[in-house]
Amino acid sequence: MNKIAGAEPTTLSWLQTTVREVLQLAEDEEVAARTLRDLAATSLQTVGVQYRILRESSVQVEMSELIGDASIAELAALIDGRRQSAA
């Protein structure tokens, strides 16, 4: 998979899978270029994504970042950036 918005391919792939699972989307649903809002995520689903990110990556992403204008690819890049900053 190509890098999109600066995210590591593994992080982007993982986050796309996570979003599809939490939002109960089809496996082939395109999510990288879309926001959680575009994907019609409910508040509970958004909290679920936030929890999975924290649990599986040890990175805190604020709710305002998740419901903002950042695409899934941009959120993946944000996660990578915070991991690097913490290292």
Residue 13 to residue 58: CA distance in whole angstroms: 17
The pLDDT value recorded for residue 43 is: 96
Distance of CA 55 to the CA centre of its chain: 13
Distance of CA 20 to the CA centre of its chain: 10
Cα separation values, 54 from 4, 13, 14, 71, 83, Å? 21, 16, 13, 18, 11
The pLDDT value recorded for residue 87 is: 74
Residue 74 to residue 5: CA distance in whole angstroms: 6
The residue-averaged pLDDT of 1-13 equals 65
- Band (86; pLDDT cuts 50, 70, 90): confident
The residue-averaged pLDDT of 64-74 equals 97
- Band (6; pLDDT cuts 50, 70, 90): low
